[in-house]
């Protein structure tokens, strides 16, 4: 009996020892060695939320972060070429602050209490097809941190971040340029100039662009010009739709390609430029003006956003006003569109990117680890207690 009691005690102590080693290794994996005060360059990378693969968001950011260590606090500055897409961003639960914009590059700042990695990261993005939420993780390689200055002032930190802007801009431009150009699965109609009949023969109709599966305004509405030109023809009417978006979005001259409209292939597709904007127009035909208002006009547009790796077709619908006007000004002043609409058309699949932020795995993983450790500790204690009881 004495031997059995000793055996149980040894087993219990071994389990507790394994728990202690496992816990210390886990802590070491999530926290690096504390750095002395100073300003450092730290390699960084954005990876996917659920794997170690590089996230598509990585193309937005420089490969190095500037970090100030002062009195145990870590102030991190990162550079990004995607400010026009990033509405807001969080790292480790903290919302990033825009510190400065330099040479089309944004410098963001956030703080950490410890040099940990990876960090849960989330983005609220603005794209030509609307708001998107994406999740990822930021990896900061603290073991490769390089001391560049012992001056820990805020000015010195910002100066170091500014030095990274050039390198960040070069790296980001190469990342985007190396991506394959998006192609559509359906060829567009050969471009030609849209015929311009006499103004007196034309009418102008106000419209909205509605989502393909919901009675809500589509984010594409901000790129359509809201007024269509309707011209009588021998067999009915020709309707011209116009699209306009800023060159500063860096989407290219053919970021929006019409694929279908009112059950037809788009006609007279034309691309051009106007000042700081890219333009696109296309037409479709209707037999009667009543066709504009008796139901929503279904359509599809293909949108390409190189920096976001988006090349996808989106369903939209067009809701026209109750009547047209003789000129653009009068049509634009139509107070409201008709509230009554027909039942929605069959919804096309929702875009894969238009999803809620994916749940990050760290919390669940850590909870499971804690539960395992606690269970192991209890098991060791029970075995020791059992040994004493049998004695």
Q: Is 15 helix (H, G, I), strand (E, B) or coil?
A: helix
Identify whether residues 275 and 379 lie together within a single domain: no
Identify whether residues 142 and 23 lie together within a single domain: no
Span 142-157, average pLDDT: 93
Identify whether residues 67 and 167 lie together within a single domain: yes
Per-residue pLDDT at 363 = 38
Is residue 313 in a domain? Answer: yes
Question: Average pLDDT over the chain, rounded to whole?
Answer: 76
Q: Looking at 147, 178, 209, which one is the last position of a domain? A: 178
Identify whether residues 119 and 50 lie together within a single domain: yes
pLDDT value at 19 more than 50:
no
Identify whether residues 7 and 44 lie together within a single domain: no
pLDDT value at 75 more than 90:
yes
- Which DSSP letter does residue 276 get? T
Q: pLDDT higher for 273 or 20? A: 273
Q: Report the C-alpha gap between 134 and 128 in whole angstroms.
A: 16
Q: Looking at 144, 178, 212, which one is the last position of a domain? A: 178
pLDDT band for 375, please (50, 70, 90 cuts): low
- Which DSSP letter does residue 299 get? E
Q: Give the range of the structural domain holding residue 374, as residue numbers without chain letter.
A: 2-28+368-390
* Alpha-carbon torsion, ordered 179, 280, 292, 189, to 10 deg: -70
pLDDT value at 317 more than 90:
yes
Is residue 349 in a domain? Answer: no
Span 129-139, average pLDDT: 80
- Summarised one tens digit per residue, pLDDT across range 213-265 is 888 888 888 889 999 999 999 989 999 999 998 887 778 899 899 999 999 99
């Amino acid at each position: 009996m004495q031997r059995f009691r000793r055996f149980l005690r040894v087993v219990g102590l071994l389990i507790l020892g394994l728990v202690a080693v496992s816990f210390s290794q886990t802590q070491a994996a999530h926290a690096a060695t504390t750095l002395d005060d100073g300003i450092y360059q730290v390699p960084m990378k954005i990876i996917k939320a659920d794997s170690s693969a590089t996230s598509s968001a990585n193309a937005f950011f420089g490969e190095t972060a500037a970090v100030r260590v002062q009195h145990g606090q870590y102030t991190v500055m990162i550079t990004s070429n995607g400010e026009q897409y990033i509405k807001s961003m969080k790292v480790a639960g903290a919302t990033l602050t825009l510190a400065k914009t330099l040479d089309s590059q944004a410098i963001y700042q956030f703080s950490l209490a410890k040099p940990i990695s990876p960090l849960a990261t989330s983005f609220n993005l603005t794209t030509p097809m609307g708001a998107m939420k994406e999740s990822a993780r930021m990896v900061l390689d603290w073991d490769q941190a390089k001391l560049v200055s012992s001056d820990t002032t805020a000015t010195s930190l910002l100066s170091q971040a500014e030095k990274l802007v050039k390198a960040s801009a070069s790296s980001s431009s190469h990342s985007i340029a190396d991506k394959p150009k998006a192609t559509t699965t359906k060829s567009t109609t050969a471009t030609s100039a849209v015929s311009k009949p006499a103004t007196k023969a034309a009418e102008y109709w106000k419209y909205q662009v509605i989502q393909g599966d919901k009675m809500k305004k589509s984010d594409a509405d901000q790129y359509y010009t809201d007024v269509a030109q309707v011209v009588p023809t021998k067999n009915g009417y020709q309707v011209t739709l116009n699209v306009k978006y800023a060159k500063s979005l860096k989407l290219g001259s053919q970021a929006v390609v019409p694929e279908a409209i009112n059950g037809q292939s788009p006609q007279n597709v034309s691309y051009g430029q106007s000042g700081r904007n890219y333009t696109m127009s296309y037409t479709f035909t209707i037999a009667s003006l009543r066709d504009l208002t008796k139901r929503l006009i279904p359509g599809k547009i293909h949108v390409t956003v190189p920096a976001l790796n988006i090349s996808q077709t989106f369903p939209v619908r067009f809701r026209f006003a109750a009547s047209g006007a003789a000129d653009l000004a009068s049509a634009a002043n139509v107070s409201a569109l008709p509230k009554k609409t027909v039942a929605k058309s069959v919804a096309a699949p929702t875009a894969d990117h238009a999803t809620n932020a994916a749940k990050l795995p760290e919390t669940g993983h850590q909870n499971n680890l804690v539960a395992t450790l606690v269970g192991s500790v209890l098991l060791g204690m029970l075995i020791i207690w059992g040994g004493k009881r049998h004695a």
